[in-house]
Structure 1
Amino acid sequence: MCRIDSEIFNIVRIRIRSLQPVKTVTPFQDATMGPFATYGISIITIEDENGNIGEAPIFQTYTNILESSLFPILFHSHNISYKEIYPKLYWSIRNEGFKGPASALLGQVDLALYDLAARRRNMPLYNYIEAGRSEVEMYGSGGGVNYSYQQLEEEIAVFTKAGARCYKMKVGKDFGTKMNEDIERVKFVKQLLGKDIKLAVDANQIWSCNDALRFLDAVGEDNLHWFEEPIHSASYEQIEALCKRTNVTIAYGESERTSKIFPTLVNSGVRHLQPVPTQIGGVKEWMEVKDLAQRNGISFSSGGYSLYTSFLVASGPEGYYVEYLYSLMHGLEKYFLHYPSWKEGKFFLPEIAGLPVRINWDYCHRENLITAQMVWEKRNVPKYKPSVSI
């Protein structure tokens, strides 16, 4: 039985606070979105009857799902173990669907519960889940399609200085219409990286199977460590067709909100899985995907708010990566009291209870950096009433 299964959470207060967006290191754009000049974060804080808290990043734009489904169950599950609460939380979002924001919200709440459980036992989360090590390999992520060659060179210098052994860049410029420019940028970056640093590319789903093959023919299959989301993530037939026609490792998983999809990806020929802990329906669902990768002997990485969730990758074998999208994430570090250090191509997790990131709330209050706040008390939240689905 997992350690958390016997934990009891008598929740009395929940708070969501949004922090002022920070400037990105370089305005960042991919195939279909951006440029992002700023990047923000909202935090959920869950408090039990003894004043213990757990925190995690959360979507702050879907409070209707939280208020109608998840919070009523959390507040009114007195003296009930996690093993009993989680299925209730899981099935409460059934009518919202397991492939959208409801599932991600469940995972974000779940991460906060894990943080609470580990904090009140005064254990780092990597110890709480029995990960066995406190460092994980990091890969550098960035290379926006809007970057100049000089900006690419400057970003790569940051990663190489920190010992990164893999770099991922974006392709698919202008909704996939500038492939020739993509090809030249890839060749430029490959020359910068040399033989010692691997290169991965991410097309953010913009191309067809034939487009992806044309791109691979031009850049050379041997030059890529993996090719991420070249085709729409729901187009399993085309994904399978591509996997059958190339030797390049094809990567998928960031767009998925449930572990139930990942066996289909593996059966389609995907050989690099990428579940995002704050986008999927809970820690155990993320673990299911990690275990699936291990059973099938395929590669694995995980991103999102990766400073927070790097402890999970420590539960996998050596060679599993944490993504660090430096341009977006670096600015958020001013909000943190503690976070993983980055050197020798690895994240080293701090020896603090709970998640490996701790917000400096005193600083945020002092500098008026909290832009929005919502608070729910147990006494003000009615018991859960499931909606009828017809």
Structure 2
Amino acid sequence: MKIREMRIYKALSEISKPIADATHDISEIAFYVVEIESTDGVTGQGYLLSFHYSPNGIEGALKDIKTFIESRDYSIFQTQDIQNDYETESEYFGITGLQRWALAALNIALWDAYARTLKQPIWKLFGCHTRKIPVYGSGGWISYSEKELVEEVVDYKRRGFQAVKIKVGSPEMNQDLERLTKVREAVGDDLKIMMDANQGMDVPSAVKLANSVENLNIHWFEEPVVNTDFEGYAAIRTKTRVSLAMGEREYNTVALRELIMRRALDLWQPDIIRLGGVEEWTRSAALANAFHIPVLPHYYKDYDVPLLASVRNPYGAESFDWIDGIIDNKMVIDNGYARPREGVGWGFNFLHQYLDEV
């Protein structure tokens, strides 16, 4: 069960196209895939969403951890030892940022290989509270025309989703109001609508928008302001009735603790890659649970759904279709709910014809 080799690949989504939110213009939907092979011949995969950002940086970070892993004598189950040792190795430049992304992709691949060695799905290794996780349809990009926006949310409803998320933070707030109103008119009152500003607003504008759309019954408001503005989150929560969600930008639980102290958070959104992998995700979920804050992870549904099955208060997972065309077993979503895959490990693999080795 020793680690024999680590391989690095890049993949592009079959449905890649330019998109934009309040703070980013995204030119492609791309991923890096880490593949671990054990001395027993078992392989495991983990991936991170890279878009078009810093390809030299992330490839360098992945190659650095590959050299680190292959020069030492680790077993595939030594995930915590590897994290501790690599954090020590990386201390000079710091482990927050790209080096943590690389560490997390490796961590996820190791868990995949370990579960496959045991011939078990991941969710069985952690115990299971539930097998049915709510999933919401995500997108609603600011770059969409109103027609494209309505078509997307109507398609989510047709496919059985019970909630959709829309990007806000347009240069003119009236654009956000019009778009949200169009969505509500298109999907009716029986579908939950959420909005996400991607940190693109200030406190006064976030308060104004939240109060202006109260009649549209917005379910929750994600990242209205910059993630370090803890007092801003507290002010928005005090001055509005909308639930607040955040957490995807965090590399640790500092923001979660700060927002808990200020009673400024309703939903915790851990990002398994930024946090550093499976163990850090579960620790953050345990902290949220201790303060009765539901867990609503960011982006990685193929990892989040199995982990949410082990959490006492899972609120739901975010759904994009971006990897569905380049893996061998896409997650089934039925009437707005997903279940962890029955297959061993994470239950899916990237198809090698879509992978370019780095």
Matched-pair identity in %: 25
Deviation at 1:68, TM superposition (A): 4.0
Q: Deviations over 1:299-330 (max 9, x none)?
A: 3211323234321122223652110134xx1x
Q: Which amino acid aligns with 2:175?
A: E
TM-score by length of 2: 0.89
- What's the counterpart of residue 315 of structure 1? 310
- What's the counterpart of residue 379 of structure 1? none
Whether contact under 8 Å (1:278, 1:304) holds in the other structure is no
- What's the counterpart of residue 22 of structure 1? 14
Q: Which amino acid aligns with 1:77?
A: D
Deviation at 1:222, TM superposition (A): 6.8
Query: Which segment is superposed worse, 100-109 or 196-205?
Result: 100-109
Say which structure is richer in strand.
1
Deviation at 1:78, TM superposition (A): 4.3
Q: CA RMSD in A?
A: 2.3
Greater relative contact order: 1 or 2 (C-alpha under 8 angstroms, separation 6 or more)? 1
- What's the counterpart of residue 209 of structure 1? 203
- What's the counterpart of residue 101 of structure 1? 98
The answer to whether the aligner puts 1:64 opposite 2:48 as a matched pair is no
**Which whole-Å CA distance do the structure 2 matches of 1:270 and 1:49 have between them?**
45
Deviation at 1:123, TM superposition (A): 0.6
**Which whole-Å CA distance do the structure 2 matches of 1:107 and 1:144 have between them?**
27
The answer to whether the aligner puts 1:10 opposite 2:2 as a matched pair is yes
- What's the counterpart of residue 349 of structure 1? 340
**Which whole-Å CA distance do the structure 2 matches of 1:350 and 1:78 have between them?**
28
- In the TM superposition, what are the counterparts of 1:263-342 in structure 2 within 5 Å? 263-268=257-262, 269-317=264-312, 319-326=314-321, 329=322, 332-342=323-333
The answer to whether the aligner puts 1:47 opposite 2:31 as a matched pair is no
- What's the counterpart of residue 77 of structure 1? 73
- For the pair shown, the structure with the greater C-alpha radius of gyration is 1
The answer to whether the aligner puts 1:180 opposite 2:177 as a matched pair is no
Whether contact under 8 Å (1:12, 1:75) holds in the other structure is no
Structure 2: stretches of 5+ with no match in the other structure: none
Deviation at 1:145, TM superposition (A): 1.2
Q: Which amino acid aligns with 1:303?
A: H
Distance 1:308 1:295, change over 3 A: closer
Choose from 207, 211, 221 the match for 1:227: 221
- What's the counterpart of residue 123 of structure 2? 126
Task: Name the SS of the counterpart of 2:138 in structure 1.
Answer: strand
Whether contact under 8 Å (2:295, 2:313) holds in the other structure is no
**Which whole-Å CA distance do the structure 2 matches of 1:211 and 1:134 have between them?**
39
**Which whole-Å CA distance do the structure 2 matches of 1:229 and 1:153 have between them?**
23
Whether contact under 8 Å (1:254, 1:276) holds in the other structure is yes
Distance 1:100 1:221, change over 3 A: farther
TM-score by length of 1: 0.82
Whether contact under 8 Å (2:333, 2:339) holds in the other structure is yes
Whether contact under 8 Å (2:243, 2:265) holds in the other structure is yes
Whether contact under 8 Å (2:35, 2:45) holds in the other structure is yes
**Which whole-Å CA distance do the structure 2 matches of 1:75 and 1:130 have between them?**
34
Whether contact under 8 Å (2:11, 2:30) holds in the other structure is yes
Whether contact under 8 Å (2:230, 2:255) holds in the other structure is no
Choose from 250, 259, 272 the match for 1:256: 250
- In the TM superposition, what are the counterparts of 1:367-378 in structure 2 within 5 Å? 369-370=354-355, 372-374=356-358
Q: How many residues align?
A: 350
- What's the counterpart of residue 377 of structure 1? none
**Which whole-Å CA distance do the structure 1 matches of 2:8 and 2:216 have between them?**
46
Q: Which amino acid aligns with 2:61?
A: I
Q: Deviations over 1:321-340 (max 9, x none)?
A: 110134xx1xx322111121
Deviation at 1:168, TM superposition (A): 0.7
